[in-house]
Amino acid sequence: MNILMLTWASFGNRDMIEAFEELGHTVTECPISDADGAAEADAGDLTGKIRDAGPELVFSFNYYPAAAIACKNLGLHYAAWVYDSPYVRLYHYTINYPTNHVFVFDKTVYLEFHRAGISTVHYLPMAANADRLAALRDFDAFRETEWMNRYEVAFVGSLYTEKHQFYQRLTGISDYTRGYLEGLMDAQKQVYGYNFIQELLTADIIADMKKSLPM
């Protein structure tokens, strides 16, 4: 099968292409920008590119409404594997286009869509390139590297302080709202496996936040 992969600066592009190829498919890359454009306008541009490539399936990491619109217009399957959560573009009106096959790795997110009667969102845990990583399992070779006995503990990831912090921009909220948000966050810090922040953000609290930071 000919697959057109919409690539942006995401993790896993190389691994995904390898996996498709190992399964006997042909992959063509089509670079896209991750920036939020107007879906309808971007779709026009993308439709031409996809038509020129003539694939049988379009694939992207995360979900792009412009791609969904283009694929619907062309009658093509669009597979999107979403590795960010939450991921705001899932809530775009295009999500239930019949040509969509959207995969999310979080069962709770899947259930949210399933309960809303949306059948184009599926549950699929994330995966790794097992062959590439299995090649690392050579302890004798590892022993010779500079990494041996270098660190005992590592954490690879974001501290969520790198980019802008929405909370610190909420300067105009009332003392009550600030106290409420702090209480909510302190409570959530004690609890794993049950996220209650969303259901406890009352209409009044949201209204006060919107007043401070209109969206």
Partner 1 sequence: MKLLLYEWESYLQYDVKEICREMGIQVDSFAWKFADKNVDEAFEKWFGKSVDTRQYDALLSINYWPVLSRMAQQRGIKYIAWCYDNPLNVINPEETLGNPVNCVFFFDRLQAQKYIRMGTVHYLPLGVNSTRLSKLRLSGQDYDKYCADIALVGSLYESRMQELRALADEHTQGYLDAVMAAQQNLYGCYLFDELISDELISGINEYVAKRNPGTSFRLPKEALTFAMASEVTRKERLILLTLLGRRFDTRLYSFQSSRILQGVKCFPAIDYVSEMPKVFACTKINLNPSLRCIQSGIPLRALDIMAAGGFLLSNYQPELAEQFEDGEEMVIYESMEDAVAKAEYYLKHEESRQQIARNGQTKVLKEYSLQRRLRQILEIAGIVDGATA
Binding site for partner 1 (CB under 8 A): 174-184, 186-188, 190-191, 194, 196, 199-200
Judged by beta carbon, residue 82 or residue 181, the one nearer partner 1 is 181
CB of 72 to partner 1, least distance (A): 37
d(CA 48, CA 74): 10
CB of 121 to partner 1, least distance (A): 24
CB of 108 to partner 1, least distance (A): 15
Judged by beta carbon, residue 54 or residue 179, the one nearer partner 1 is 179
CB of 179 to partner 1, least distance (A): 3
Judged by beta carbon, residue 23 or residue 191, the one nearer partner 1 is 191
Judged by beta carbon, residue 74 or residue 205, the one nearer partner 1 is 205
CB of 191 to partner 1, least distance (A): 6
What is the number of other CB atoms lying within 10 angstroms of the CB of residue 76? Answer: 19
Judged by beta carbon, residue 174 or residue 212, the one nearer partner 1 is 174
